């Protein structure tokens, strides 16, 4: 039955019909075409294929391809990047001109004395720094965050010499200069707020607490496993030589050895067996 059904189906598909066109006046046969359903389907599929290929070629080789979702050629992409960079440059120029006008207004209004002005560019830089000053809300947020992170300690276990030691951050501030022994800088500089507390990095014993002309008040602490920490540019010391200190305990108050600096800086050094070590490897600043 299945074979008979298939034969009937293919017979219907392949069965040819004669399409004839006659001349109405003479009844003469003009055109006669023999077609079948299979021929009609083949012609339809071929026509659809040709139309699809033509449409694809038009879209692929003409600017119409840029309207396809998710497609962007290299020229359009480079143009977008160039426009973004140009817009960023224009924004910076506009902001600088705005600060320039504000500086001129301050000079004309008498808020800035003309004899203190070295150049408009210096005033523009100063204006940018003033605009970047912390707001009251930012100060409160930073204070809460720093208090929360004060006891966020880092346990150093990747070096055998410092295995099991927990290093405290010596003060709350921003690193302004990195460790560079080739230039004679054997520690890191941390810029902080005035009168900020200086904390002991580890438990230990104070082996030096003195004042020097170039580094202000200096305190050194001997720790376990042959570690020594050095704290320079302090305004005052809270400990004296021979005192025992705990990690995280306030040992000094931060200040400036150089009064010309706007913000106080703490110079922090870490030594092991007489050799300077980059504190960044052990302390999270």
Residue 53 inside a domain? The answer is yes
pLDDT in tens, 101-112: 777 777 777 766
Are 197 and 157 members of one domain? yes
Task: With a cut of 90, say whether residue 189 has pLDDT above it.
Answer: yes
The confidence score (pLDDT) of residue 262 equals 63
Q: End of a domain among 11, 26, 60?
A: 60
What span, in angstroms and rounded, lies between the C-alpha atoms of 54 and 58?
Answer: 6
What span, in angstroms and rounded, lies between the C-alpha atoms of 196 and 265?
Answer: 10
Instruction: Give 264: exposed, middle or buried? Use CB within 10 Å, 0-12, 13-18, 19+.
Output: buried
Task: With a cut of 60, say whether residue 158 has pLDDT above it.
Answer: no
Task: With a cut of 60, say whether residue 159 has pLDDT above it.
Answer: no
Q: End of a domain among 91, 107, 133?
A: 133
> Out of 60-74, 202-216, 221-235, 239-253, which region has the weakest mean confidence (pLDDT)?
60-74
Task: With a cut of 60, say whether residue 131 has pLDDT above it.
Answer: no
Cα(first)–Cα(last) distance of the chain, in Å?
87
The confidence score (pLDDT) of residue 52 equals 93
What is the domain range of residue 34? 2-60
Task: With a cut of 50, say whether residue 134 has pLDDT above it.
Answer: yes
Q: What is the mean pLDDT of residues 141-164?
A: 58
What span, in angstroms and rounded, lies between the C-alpha atoms of 137 and 177?
Answer: 28
Are 114 and 162 members of one domain? no
What confidence tier does 245 reach under pLDDT thresholds 50, 70, 90? Answer: very high
pLDDT in tens, 217-231: 999 999 988 999 999
What span, in angstroms and rounded, lies between the C-alpha atoms of 157 and 179?
Answer: 21
Residue 141 inside a domain? The answer is no
Task: With a cut of 50, say whether residue 34 has pLDDT above it.
Answer: yes
What confidence tier does 153 reach under pLDDT thresholds 50, 70, 90? Answer: very low
Q: What percent of the chain has pLDDT over 90?
A: 27
Q: Which residues is 180 bridged to in the sheet?
A: 185
pLDDT in tens, 77-130: 778 888 888 888 888 888 777 777 777 777 777 766 655 555 555 556 655 555
Q: Which residues is 154 bridged to in the sheet?
A: 167
Q: Report helix, strand or coil for 202.
A: coil
Are 263 and 231 members of one domain? yes
Residues 6+ apart with CB under 8 A from 220: 206, 207, 208, 209, 228, 229, 230, 231
What span, in angstroms and rounded, lies between the C-alpha atoms of 207 and 209?
Answer: 7
C-alpha dist (Å) from residue 270 to 33, 70, 209, 221: 100, 54, 16, 10
Residue 247 inside a domain? The answer is yes
Give φ, ψ of 241 to 5 degrees: -60, 130
Domains contained in the chain, number: 3
| C-alpha 202, offset from chain centre | 32
pLDDT in tens, 247-276: 999 999 886 544 455 678 899 999 998 899
The confidence score (pLDDT) of residue 144 equals 72
Task: With a cut of 50, say whether residue 155 has pLDDT above it.
Answer: no
The confidence score (pLDDT) of residue 85 equals 84
């Amino acid at each position: 039955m299945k074979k008979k059904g298939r034969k009937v189906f293919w017979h219907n598909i392949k069965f040819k019909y004669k399409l004839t066109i006659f001349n109405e006046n003479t009844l003469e046969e003009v055109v006669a075409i023999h077609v079948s359903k299979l021929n009609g389907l083949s012609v339809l599929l071929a026509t659809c294929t040709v139309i699809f290929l033509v449409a694809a070629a038009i879209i692929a080789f003409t600017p119409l391809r840029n309207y396809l979702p998710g497609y962007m050629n290299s020229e359009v992409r480079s143009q977008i990047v160039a426009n973004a960079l140009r817009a960023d440059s224009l924004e910076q120029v506009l902001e600088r001109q705005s600060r320039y006008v504000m500086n001129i207004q301050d000079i004309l209004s008498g808020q800035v004395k003309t004899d203190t002005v070295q150049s408009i560019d210096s005033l523009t830089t100063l204006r940018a720094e003033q605009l970047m000053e912390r707001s009251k809300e930012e100060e409160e947020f930073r204070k809460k965050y720093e208090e929360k992170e004060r006891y966020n300690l880092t346990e150093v276990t990747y070096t055998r010499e410092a295995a099991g030691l927990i290093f405290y951050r010596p003060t709350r501030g921003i690193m302004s200069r990195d460790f560079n022994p080739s230039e004679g800088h054997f520690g890191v500089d941390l810029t902080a707020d005035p009168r900020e507390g200086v904390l002991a990095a580890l438990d230990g014993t104070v082996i030096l607490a003195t004042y020097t002309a170039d580094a202000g008040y200096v305190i050194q602490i001997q720790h376990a496993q042959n570690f020594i920490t050095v704290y320079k540019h302090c305004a005052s010391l809270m400990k004296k030589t021979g005192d025992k200190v705990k990690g995280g305990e306030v040992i000094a108050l931060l200040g400036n050895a150089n009064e010309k600096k706007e913000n106080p800086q703490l110079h922090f050094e870490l030594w092991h067996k007489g050799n300077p070590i980059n504190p960044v490897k052990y302390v999270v600043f």
